[in-house]
Amino acid sequence: MRLNILTFVMLGGALFATISKGATVKVKQLPAVNIPLDSSKPGNHIVINDIILSGNKITKPGIIYRELLFNKGDTIALPNLSQILEQSRKNLLNTSLFNFVTIDTSTVARGKLNIKIDVIERWYIWPMPFFQLSERNFNVWWKTKDLSKIDYGMYLTWDNFRGRKESLILMLRKGYDQTFGLSYKLPYINRKKTLGLGFILSFSGNHEVAYKTEDNKQVFYKDNKKYAQQNIFGTFNITYRKSIFTTQTFQINFNDYRFSDTLLNLNPGFSNKSHLQFLTFYYLLKCDHRDFKNYPLKGYYFDLEFEKLGFGLLPTENIDIAFIHTSGRKFWNLGKRWYFAGGINAKISTRSFQPYFIEKGLGFGNDFVRSYEYYVVDGQNFALLKSNLKYELIPTKVKNLKFIPSKKFSKLYYAVYLNLLGDAAYVNDRQATAGNDLSNSLLFGVGLGLDFVTYYDKVFRLEYAINKKGESGFFLHFVAPI
């Protein structure tokens, strides 16, 4: 596949905050940080005398220590101390357990320091009703404003369950689609805090299902009386996190799909059977060196996903597909409140036939060219490039809302960025059908954006973009652009 990629830049913003204050914690220590020292020169190193935690009313000390680049008793070169403390602070913020983290030092003797880590914990328990759109993104729903395509229900999300960074989610979703599910994640099961596990059990039923793509848009079949599609899903995974910045996930999935006969009659390529059961093996390698994961400004990120669907072990399996999906992103601080970011997402699949309900090209998740939000681009292989040039319009501000008694909500931060954006992509579709002219062609979009970032990892992006068709519009998103 050959791609010609645009140059692009983004001036519009959202914010990300980097200030910290608040909580105490004690934690199991990691292996010492090895830093070259010249012992012949006195005063060029310090020893960590003690680590003092505060503000961790729920979080166990070991969870905090797991993210630190130093331990009690470590000897650290003075020129490296500031960088090590700042990176440790960022590591703690990226756990999504704390709104603010502050690290201070105090001298207790010649060449010895105490380090105090103060955190403000987040609110971890969210039992509440929810409303959710059954569309690929907000902009697709806003075009029709179809209130029937709103799901509602109750969920219980309990983050940092038992203070050990565990996650417990119970979901009951009704409305346009129905889902009943239970999810549990335990990040560490061993003393070294390198191994974790998790599982998900769920049932979903859909009265309306996209069964084909026509003119680069999904066409839906709806059955008001019974489910057009239903799925029983179960998964078990093991995570391995030897270092601070690298995580591997090994996962086995079980899927049981049932489809309406009418759905298959409308598109025989939707699925080769009305009842499919199959196993999936999934592997994820993730290397994350971003300063802040919800809205990064510096650093880099890389992931690699491999998924194999079908092993011929179940009587109704009849599926044999594998693909690799990868993404890489790099973030630069250009100085004087200017930043640049670039990223590439790519997918390569085996040449076996992919049923429509499995095939995913561009237009799903974060795999889309900005300005093409209303379209889907089917295909088995693709490459997508994204770029932003941004200016920090409003630097990070911290506000105390005195009328809110809880520190978990009363202290907030925000920032605003102006962006110039440019994306380009190419999708290869071996199963292309007439009328879907976005496949097997170069796509690109450019525009301006304004990003707002605040606490609890919230990002709000308003963008105006134009594509190669000359179509333009305003688009709203709720995650970082790259």
3-state SS, residue 170? strand
Fold held by 45-121: Ubiquitin-like (UB roll) (3.10.20)
Report CA torsion sign: 433, 434, 435, 440. Answer: positive
Looking at residue 342, its pLDDT comes to 97
Looking at residue 424, its pLDDT comes to 97
Which token pair is 394?
């409003």
Q: Please tell me the pTM assigned to this model.
A: 0.83
Distance CA 5, CA 386 (A): 9
Instruction: Please name the residues in contact with 462: beta carbons below 8 A apart, sequence gap of 6 or more.
Output: 12, 449, 450, 474, 475, 476
Give the strand pairing for 45-54 and 112-121: parallel
Burial of 334: CB neighbours in 10 Å, binned 0-12, 13-18, 19+ = exposed
Which token pair is 86?
């700042």
Looking at residue 391, its pLDDT comes to 97
Instruction: Please name the residues in contact with 63: beta carbons below 8 A apart, sequence gap of 6 or more.
Output: 25, 27, 95, 97, 163, 164, 165
Q: How far is CA 176 from the centre of its chain?
A: 25
Looking at residue 32, its pLDDT comes to 34
Residue extents of the structural domains in the chain: 45-121, 187-388
**410: part of which helix (H) or strand (E)?**
helix 407-410
Distance CA 255, CA 15 (A): 39
How many other C-beta atoms lie within 10 A of the C-beta of residue 462?
A: 16
Give the count of alpha carbons within 13 A of 160, CB side only: 20
Q: Looking at the chain, how many residues does it have? A: 482
Looking at residue 318, its pLDDT comes to 84
Beta bridge partners of 77: 45
Residues 343 and 329 sit within 8 Å (Cβ to Cβ): yes
How many other C-beta atoms lie within 10 A of the C-beta of residue 269?
A: 16
Distance CA 463, CA 419 (A): 9
Q: What is the residue-level pLDDT of the chain in tens, covering all 482 positions?
A: 333 323 222 223 332 232 233 332 233 333 333 333 343 455 588 999 999 999 999 999 999 999 999 999 999 999 999 999 999 999 999 999 999 999 999 988 888 999 999 999 999 998 766 655 555 566 765 666 665 656 666 778 899 999 999 999 998 877 667 788 999 999 999 999 999 999 999 999 988 899 999 999 999 998 888 899 999 999 999 999 999 999 999 999 999 999 999 999 999 999 989 999 999 999 999 999 999 999 999 999 999 999 999 998 988 888 999 999 999 999 999 999 999 999 999 999 999 999 999 999 999 888 999 999 999 999 999 999 999 999 999 999 999 888 888 888 888 899 999 999 999 999 999 998 888 999 999 999 999 999 999 988 899 999 999 999 999 999 999 999 99
How many other C-beta atoms lie within 10 A of the C-beta of residue 199?
A: 14
Residues 282 and 253 sit within 8 Å (Cβ to Cβ): yes
Residues 92 and 122 sit within 8 Å (Cβ to Cβ): no
**65: part of which helix (H) or strand (E)?**
helix 61-65
CATH architecture of 187-388: Beta Barrel (2.40)
Residues 188 and 60 sit within 8 Å (Cβ to Cβ): no
Distance CA 408, CA 125 (A): 12
> What single-letter DSSP state applies at residue 367?
B
Instruction: Please name the residues in contact with 145: beta carbons below 8 A apart, sequence gap of 6 or more.
Output: none
> What single-letter DSSP state applies at residue 18?
-
Distance CA 361, CA 139 (A): 18
Residues 335 and 298 sit within 8 Å (Cβ to Cβ): no
Residues 427 and 438 sit within 8 Å (Cβ to Cβ): yes
CA distances from 67 to 91, 167, 444 (A): 6, 18, 40
Looking at residue 14, its pLDDT comes to 30
Looking at residue 151, its pLDDT comes to 60
Which token pair is 431?
């199963």
Backbone φ and ψ for 133, nearest 5 degrees, come out as -85, 135
Q: What are the b/e assignments for 312-332, b being 16+ CB within 10 Å?
A: eebeebbbebebebebebbbe
Residues 344 and 304 sit within 8 Å (Cβ to Cβ): no
Looking at residue 6, its pLDDT comes to 30
> What single-letter DSSP state applies at residue 149?
G
Looking at residue 143, its pLDDT comes to 67
> What single-letter DSSP state applies at residue 258?
E
Q: How far is CA 394 from the centre of its chain?
A: 25
